[in-house]
Amino acid sequence: MDRKTLEARTKVFAHNCVKTALSLEGTKLGNHICGQLIRCATSVPANYRAANLAHSRAAFAAKLSIVIEEADECGFWLDFAIGENILSPAVAEPLIKEAHELTSIFVASRKSIQVKSKIINQK
């Protein structure tokens, strides 16, 4: 998957999470999860975009680590909302699936860049 496609995919994911998060508002817990989900979901495309501007492989890997953590956190908050019965599995599960897929993609990218960096450093 190329950079532009992945940038677009992360942005769509963030928009979908924000829409879902806003539907949770109205209770103290719903408001809390709403804020947390919006924060981590919007961080995914923002930090991936920043990673693509990195000046070194190490900086790229570091930014990808943030993207990985934030995508995984989205999955957590969505799953937590299901557990609290404030979000239906039918709404949350496609987003949880996308959070896991994005996490896997970015973990693989980070591993690849770290392997390339080790090879270059050994020369």
pLDDT at 120: 62
pLDDT at 115: 80
Quote the domain boundaries for residue 72.
3-122
Cα–Cα distance for residue pair 93/99, rounded to 1 Å: 10
pLDDT at 98: 98
State the total domains in the chain.
Answer: 1
pLDDT at 119: 59
Counting as low any pLDDT under 70, the low residues of the chain are 117-123
Cα–Cα distance for residue pair 72/68, rounded to 1 Å: 6
Tell me the CATH number at 40. 1.20.1440.60
**Spatial contact of 111 and 60, defined as CB atoms under 8 Å apart:** no
